[in-house]
Chains A and B, each alone.
Chain A
Amino acid sequence: NAGVTQTPKFQVLKTGQSMTLQCAQDMNHEYMSWYRQDPGMGLRLIHYSVGAGITDQGEVPNGYNVSRSTTEDFPLRLLSAAPSQTSVYFCASSYSRDQNIQYFGAGTRLSVL
């Protein structure tokens, strides 16, 4: 098993550009989520999904869109990048609510100029 795979590892964008951060898991996990990690702020939940076709907002959803068309994939879209979105983004997945141990990807480091 590859676990949780995030691509790309690094990305530089200009303000106003759009892009999609990819996340895929091969563990047949129902629950997937996106976090951003900023210095001194810990991880903050952006969006999450409890299964294919079901998504919901987390703590900091503004400026981000998600969709879950398959169990395996959970892409995060930045529609119009802003410097405030410069951060490290982590995708995580877990099997079920009762065993909600999250498995994290290696992260995507995003800089918005």
Chain B
Amino acid sequence: SQQGEEDPQALSIQEGENATMNCSYKTSINNLQWYRQNSGRGLVHLILIRSNEREKHSGRLRVTLDTSKKSSSLLITASRAADTASYFCATELNTGNQFYFGTGTSLTVIP
């Protein structure tokens, strides 16, 4: 399978703490994206990082990409209870048009 894997599978933190989740993948990619899924809902795009980028920021989100290690990390700073959700990485292969999602990290932020 081309599927990526997130680590950890589940993460529980206190409000205000930072949350870090990691994604590993297997093949060369065009870009890597992070999505968020609230319980019972569809996925919502958070941030995209291209294969020639190493770091990207968007608000409280920071994403890094290491193509030599085939890994990415998502950092959520100053977490809030509303950040409670599942987070998925998705890789677009450099052959294009196919996306492979990881297994997700379930984040719980305790108020």
Contacts and interface: CB of A to CB of B under 8 A. Distances in A.
Contacts of B4: 42
Contacts of A101: 33, 45, 48
Contact of A45 (B45, B96, B99): B99
Interface size class of A (residues with CB under 8 A): 20 to 34
A47 to B, nearest CB: 11
B103 A56 contact: no
Interface in A34-67: 35, 40-45, 48, 50, 56, 58-59
Given A104-B44, A106-B42, A42 B101 contact: yes
Interface size class of B (residues with CB under 8 A): 20 to 34
B1 A59 contact: yes
A88 to B, nearest CB: 9
A62 B43 CA distance: 24
Contacts of A4: 42
B2 interface: yes
Nearest to A3: B42
A43 B42 contact: no
Interface in B40-55: 41-45, 48
Interface of A: 4, 31, 33, 35, 40-45, 48, 50, 56, 58-59, 90, 92, 97, 100-107
